[in-house]
């Protein structure tokens, strides 16, 4: 009886430590998360060149899984989020994902970079800012900050923003969105129609004037 009890205890202990080891092995550091995202953006960009439909879908799927969409959508809309019903809010999130997927695929993955290096990590509030350097083919060195946080649901990192040479993609999109809402006199259906048109432009490879912040410089 004693041997059986000890065998059960041993099995439970082994299973417990195996679970810890597996969990630890899967956990990424902030630097690894950003490095993986950068390299993935390049892979998606290359895929998009050979198969646009597959490349577009891959970038949409990747952003949907690895970007903090809900908090970003609320930040972009600000107080205006109260004017959106549930369906309209979901439509806006879809348009946001489309913009971000284009930015990741073309702005980051399509950048003529010969070397990418993560240089440090600092904590600000609930977010981590992962600093990096992008060494371009023409000799320029661009500084990028990747704002990330851990998901309370999955305990995995989520991207919140990409800031290249001080230009924030999310902040720029927020400013652009605020102006569009004001110009549309807060007519949400008209505003969303405009956003859908922008997404169609991005999918055709064109960048709307109000999204100049995702162009290469």
CA 129 to chain centre: 13
The confidence score (pLDDT) of residue 82 equals: 96
In CATH terms, the fold of domain 28-214 is Nuclear Transport Factor 2; Chain: A, (3.10.450)
Mean pLDDT of each 10-residue bin along the chain, 217 residues long: 44 41 63 95 94 93 96 96 97 95 90 92 94 94 95 92 94 95 96 94 85 71
The confidence score (pLDDT) of residue 7 equals: 45
Beta bridge partners of 131: 120, 145
Please return the burial class of 42, using the count of CB atoms within 10 Å of its CB with bins 0-12, 13-18 and 19+.
middle
pLDDT tens readout for residues 123-176? 998 899 999 999 999 999 999 999 999 998 888 999 999 999 999 999 999 999
Asked if residues 44 and 58 have their Cβ atoms less than 8 Å apart, the reply is yes
* Count of CB atoms situated within 10 Å of the CB of 215: 9
Show me where the domains of the chain are located. Answer: 28-214
The confidence score (pLDDT) of residue 51 equals: 94
The confidence score (pLDDT) of residue 14 equals: 39
Encode 89-106 in three state secondary structure. Answer: HHHHHHHHHHHHHHHHHH
**pTM of structure:** 0.82
* Count of CB atoms situated within 10 Å of the CB of 105: 27
Q: Shortest CA distance to 31 belongs to which of 41, 39, 42, 43?
A: 39
The confidence score (pLDDT) of residue 69 equals: 96
* Count of CB atoms situated within 10 Å of the CB of 35: 18
Q: Shortest CA distance to 105 belongs to which of 156, 61, 48?
A: 48
The radius of gyration of the chain from alpha carbons, rounded to an integer in Å, stands at 21
Asked if residues 132 and 119 have their Cβ atoms less than 8 Å apart, the reply is yes
């Amino acid at each position: 009886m004693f041997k059986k009890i000890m065998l059960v205890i041993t099995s439970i202990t082994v299973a417990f430590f195996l679970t810890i080891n597996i969990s630890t092995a899967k956990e990424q550091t902030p630097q690894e998360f950003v490095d993986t995202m950068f390299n993935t953006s390049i892979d998606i960009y290359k895929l998009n060149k050979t198969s646009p439909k597959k490349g577009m879908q891959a970038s949409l799927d990747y952003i949907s899984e690895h970007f903090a969409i809900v908090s970003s959508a609320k930040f972009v809309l600000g107080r205006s989020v109260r004017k959106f019903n549930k369906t309209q809010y979901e439509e806006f999130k879809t348009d946001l994902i489309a913009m971000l997927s284009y930015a990741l695929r073309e702005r980051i993955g399509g950048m003529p970079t010969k070397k990418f290096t993560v240089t440090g990590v600092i904590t600000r509030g609930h977010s981590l800012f992962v600093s990096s350097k992008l060494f371009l083919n023409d000799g320029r060195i661009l500084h990028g900050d990747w704002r990330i946080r851990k998901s309370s649901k999955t305990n995995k990192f989520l991207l919140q923003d990409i800031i290249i040479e001080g230009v924030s993609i999310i902040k720029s999109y927020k400013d652009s969105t605020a102006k569009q809402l004001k110009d549309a006199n807060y007519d949400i259906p008209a505003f969303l129609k405009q956003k859908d048109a922008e997404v169609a432009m991005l999918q055709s490879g064109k960048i709307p004037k109000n999204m100049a912040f995702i162009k290469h410089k």
